[in-house]
Structure 1
Amino acid sequence: MKNYDKVKERIKNFGPGIITGGADNDPAGIITYTMIGATTGLKQLWLMVFSTPMMIAVQDSVARIAIVTGKSLSEVLKTFYTKKTATIVISLLLIANLFTIAADMEAVAQIFEIVTGIHAIYWLIPINILIGYLVIFKTYRTVKKTLVSLTAILAVYIFSAIKCKPDISTLITNTLIPHIKFSGAFFMAALGLLGTTISPYMMFWQATEEKIEHKTVVQIEDATLDTVAGMIYSNVVAYFIIIAAAYTLFGHHIFVSTIKEAAIAIKPVAGSFSFTLFSIGIIAAGFIAIPVLAGSSAYAIADLFGWRKGFEEKVSSAKGFYIVFLGSLLIGDIINLSPISAVNALYYSQILDGMLLPFLVAVIAIVANNKKIMGDFTNTAFNNIFCFVTFIISLACIVIMLWQMIV
């Protein structure tokens, strides 16, 4: 009975890891996974298994640092490196986040347009008002519960894939045996998958949330369990999105590059029920990811300049924090109203994220293994191995992306 109560208490304390995992499957990520399934079928399912320990290692390292030092990732950069370094990294993060926010907003608005017939542009402001209301007028605990609840809705993609009645033996083969096809389309899809799965904003968000929760070193195991659960859930959802797209779109020669195109393509091929599940997932994903993206920017800038911050603070006492948060939403709207393509914006934001990733992973690994900083709670062997793997692969991704741009 004691063990049951202990497990129940641990689950009750879930939050940062679960929310971060849910936010990773934002609408921009969903369209990436949908495109992968539509263009390569089931051939890249093994990459979801491969990337899961990488995600866990990076996010758990970040959580450990935040708990032991009591600092966010912005403060770690500023304290253990230089403010100039922190400013450059956070500036790049902010730009990438803004483009991703714009793409996510457009995706949610497009679903509302398909359902209601009202043009997507008219949904942008109501979406922002709802998110702003939740964050400004509700308590941090309410915001946290809302985000955790929304992550559960993403399970609709699991049901959507099951409805397709996939062949189990084919799934097992493609999940456990790497299938590498040396073509530009296949490799670029692989880069998109890995770049979408491990995003810098996730590191900033989770570190800040662990700090806000005021966890002690005694709770490191709880934080690890939360992180493992969040990252596995995130990739399980992504795994089933690829399956659903493979069975509904692959082989039909349907090209999709936006959420609207994917939703419209799914309806006649897979039916209204699959379309409904897809749409519900997009809306839930948007309302998780947009505040997390804007929040990670607001926390990062507030920590850089030493401002008061946090959703538990009143607007009057944390003006700078809320200006950045609401400003991020507003700029997202402006990008959508401008001639800039949300698809192109997402592409360039992923390039920025890719350029940030190896640097951030290296910084995290160095700090997490510094005994002067971490004491007896330095990084685990598992985290070190897969942080190194992430560093090498992300560096390779940058080289290949730059090569593709030059050639």
Structure 2
Amino acid sequence: MNKFVEKLKNIGPGALVAAGFVGPGTVTTCTVSGASYGYTMLWCLLFATVATIIFQEMAARVGIISQKGLGENIRDRIPNAVLKWIAIIIVIVAIFVGNVAYETGNITGGTLGIRAINSDLQLIPIVIVLGLAAFACMWFGGRKVIEKVLTAIVVFMGVVFLVTALASSPDWGAVLKGLFTPQIPEGAGILTAVGLIGTTIVPYNLFLHASSAAQRWTDPEHVSDARFDTALSIGLGGIISMAILICAGANIFGTGVEVKNGADMAVALSPVLGDWATWLIALGLLAAGFSSAMTAPYSAAYAVNGVLGWKKSTDDIQFKAIWVVVLLCGCVMAIVWGSSPTQLILVAQAANAIILPIMAFFVLYCANSKDLGTFRNHAFANVCGVLIIVITLFMCYRNMNAFITSLTALISG
């Protein structure tokens, strides 16, 4: 019992990852999925949660043993100069595109929260205020304190979803079928399925986890603590995501309500909260969007700095320049395409899922390095990793037409 309590005290990097993916993208994508298809897509979340645990454990293990971030590991472990620079360029482009897409979803999620209370507020001023607030927190400091408060709000919202899911008396037979019977509905079902994966297995979280685990644990003996932290934290995050989908499936599916804004999402919580549901969704989306709007640019800066070998601190202008560009691009895209917020967030999550196999490959490559000794990947981890990459690649291939169609419709208007 004492050993278990001691492990609980070491919870940290895994919880940071879980808080990172239970953001506005998760709330929106899970709600849209449940409202549109009932419990059909629960298997996507089960697959994504297991896959996240597997790859985040690899990233944390690589970070602890090497005492370096994932970007540094990718740079250091490719001996051929040409291949190294090809890998560096691929990582930079993938991280930049993925984080800009994710940042767009974060900012849009924040606007969804504010406009759930007052739909008459204009989009552009909201985005500007959110962007400037995030910029100020990151540039002048104080980001970590604010993130802790906002994360507490998001955790509270997750607990409320979990309680509501149980109180909504869902068809548990249908829930179990949805969990263990993979199927993809016709039409936009493939985009939603890939979006559920992209909002759970977040590529930049792999870099964030490796760096934070290296800082938290310096002794290889603590790898077991990191595994416990990863499995527990991400497992709970996955359960909360499933609870959000179940709430929407139980309370919105079949009612004819099309989820377009925060007020529509609040219907999923109405059995427990009644009129207060809109206020919680508004506060939760705003908190999740704003906290993630600071985390995503920082993660991009850490990844790019690591893979380029700059080893700059957060106060260096090169580090700041990277996160400023990501934040600015996210704000601009949220303004340009924010007229269809739920669709924009869904497309952003799908974009991350398309980038995911590339980052997963690099994690798998680093986790098999000989210098990790007994902590390098064993056969079972490799089989699981390859299988996850193949399944994700297949789903992304199936999704490409729907993704391009949705993206084109979003751009045109």
Please state which band the TM-score falls in when normalised by the shorter chain.
0.7 to 0.9
Contact 2:154/2:284, CA 8 A, preserved across alignment? no
**Partner residue of 1:249 out of 243, 248, 252:** 252
Quote the residue 2:116 is aligned against: 114
Quote the residue 1:94 is aligned against: 96
Give the superposed CA RMSD. Answer: 3.0
Look up the equivalent residue of 1:325 and give its one-letter code: W
Partner-residue secondary structure (3-state), 1:155: helix
- Rounded to whole Å, the distance in 2 between the matches of 1:121 and 1:196 is 25
Contact 2:102/2:352, CA 8 A, preserved across alignment? no
Matched, 1:195 2:194: no
Matched, 1:217 2:220: yes
User: 1:59-103 CA distances to partner (integer Å, 9 max, x unpaired)?
Assistant: 101111111112222222222231331222222221221122122
TM-score, normalised relative to structure 1: 0.85
Look up the equivalent residue of 2:31 and give its one-letter code: T
Contact 1:107/1:259, CA 8 A, preserved across alignment? no
- Rounded to whole Å, the distance in 2 between the matches of 1:33 and 1:134 is 29
**Partner residue of 1:159 out of 163, 167, 170:** 163
Quote the residue 1:363 is aligned against: 362
Any runs of at least 4 consecutive aligned residues in structure 1 with deviations exceeding 6 A, and if so which?
A: 267-270
Quote the residue 1:40 is aligned against: 37
**Partner residue of 2:392 out of 376, 391, 394:** 394
Deviates more, 1:25-34 or 1:121-130: 121-130
Quote the residue 1:288 is aligned against: 291
Q: Give the 3 Å change call, closer, same or farther, for CA 180–398 of structure 1 in structure 2.
A: closer
Q: Give the 3 Å change call, closer, same or farther, for CA 351–49 of structure 1 in structure 2.
A: closer
- Rounded to whole Å, the distance in 2 between the matches of 1:188 and 1:336 is 20
Deviates more, 1:385-394 or 1:262-271: 262-271
Contact 1:63/1:210, CA 8 A, preserved across alignment? yes
Task: Tell me how far 1:292 sits from its aligned partner.
Answer: 2.0
Q: Give the 3 Å change call, closer, same or farther, for CA 340–274 of structure 1 in structure 2.
A: closer
**Partner residue of 1:305 out of 308, 320, 342:** 308
Q: Give the 3 Å change call, closer, same or farther, for CA 140–80 of structure 1 in structure 2.
A: farther
TM-score, normalised relative to structure 2: 0.84
Q: Give the 3 Å change call, closer, same or farther, for CA 74–168 of structure 1 in structure 2.
A: same
- Rounded to whole Å, the distance in 2 between the matches of 1:102 and 1:394 is 23
Look up the equivalent residue of 1:393 and give its one-letter code: I
Partner-residue secondary structure (3-state), 2:382: helix
Look up the equivalent residue of 1:98 and give its one-letter code: V
Task: Tell me how far 1:261 sits from its aligned partner.
Answer: 6.1
- Rounded to whole Å, the distance in 2 between the matches of 1:65 and 1:13 is 18
Contact 1:22/1:288, CA 8 A, preserved across alignment? no
**Partner residue of 1:238 out of 236, 241, 245:** 241
> Structure 2 regions of 5+ residues with no counterpart?
79-83, 406-413
Give the number of aligned pairs.
396
> Structure 1 regions of 5+ residues with no counterpart?
none
Contact 1:365/1:387, CA 8 A, preserved across alignment? yes
- Rounded to whole Å, the distance in 2 between the matches of 1:188 and 1:355 is 11
- Rounded to whole Å, the distance in 1 between the matches of 2:147 and 2:335 is 30
